[in-house]
């Protein structure tokens, strides 16, 4: 009985916490590859709109996420490269430039796990699983290996390769633009316990 009373006292006195999504800290990065030796080409999208609902756990917050990416804001860190990626890839791949999606399932806790995301592009649905971790500073990091072919972007890949054929020619004289892409999502979750921000 005493043990039960101690447990109930602890439960009543434990801080009630709420997790919120910090839109300002959101970043969606991608890594593509060129040359037969797979030299990485990195970039990110400058405009991402995220909607979510506060939750009592990080996993609950993740599951509430809906998002919209403006693919026409892709930035690979070089003005000339940005033009090529926009004109010869994304404008060929996506009619309106919008990549929409939402989380469908979370397998994990407030430290690590997997998250299933359903993307919608040009009316086509693509399912992708990400591995995620949440560190001691509430930073959420999700990673996934994918392919532009999974999104139905074969013609756009061919268009980009043709436009950048010489640029993607390596020391071996072969020109290669890979379909493989790696996706990275980072953001910071706000954790408020009884009105005070604190770390997980």
φ, ψ at 78 (rounded to 5°): -145, 125
Please state which of the ranges 38-42, 56-60, 67-71 shows the lowest mean pLDDT: 56-60
147, HSE (Cβ side, Cα atoms, 13 Å):
7
Comparing CA positions, the residue from 19, 135, 21, 3 lying closest to residue 67 is 21
Model confidence at 24, pLDDT cuts 50, 70, 90, reads: confident
Whether residue 14 is predicted with pLDDT greater than 60 in this model: the reply is: no
**CATH number 3.30.450.40 is the correct assignment for the domain at 16-197:** no
Model confidence at 17, pLDDT cuts 50, 70, 90, reads: confident
CA distances from 49 to 22, 93, 99, 102 (A): 11, 20, 10, 12
For position 16, what pLDDT does the model report?
81
Coil/strand/helix, residue 118: strand
- Report how far residue 89's alpha carbon sits from residue 32's, in angstroms, rounded to the nearest whole number: 12
- Report how far residue 95's alpha carbon sits from residue 5's, in angstroms, rounded to the nearest whole number: 62
């Amino acid at each position: 009985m005493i043990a039960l009373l101690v447990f109930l006292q602890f439960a009543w006195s434990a801080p009630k916490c709420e997790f919120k999504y910090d839109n300002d800290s959101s970043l969606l990065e991608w890594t593509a590859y060129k040359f037969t030796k797979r030299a990485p080409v990195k970039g990110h999208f400058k405009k991402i709109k995220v909607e979510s609902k506060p939750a009592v756990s990080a996993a609950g917050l993740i599951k509430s996420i809906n998002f919209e990416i403006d693919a026409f804001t892709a930035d690979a860190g070089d003005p000339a490269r940005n033009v090529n990626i926009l004109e010869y890839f994304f404008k060929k791949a996506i009619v309106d430039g919008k990549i929409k999606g939402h989380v469908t399932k979370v397998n994990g806790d407030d430290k690590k796990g997997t998250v299933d995301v359903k993307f919608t592009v040009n009316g086509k649905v693509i399912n992708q699983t990400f591995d995620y971790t949440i560190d001691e500073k509430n930073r959420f990091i999700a990673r996934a290996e994918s392919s532009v072919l999974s999104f139905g972007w074969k013609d756009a890949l061919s268009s980009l390769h043709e436009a950048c054929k010489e640029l993607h020619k390596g020391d071996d004289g072969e020109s290669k633009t890979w379909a493989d892409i790696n996706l990275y999502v980072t953001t910071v979750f706000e954790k408020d316990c009884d009105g005070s921000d604190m770390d997980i």
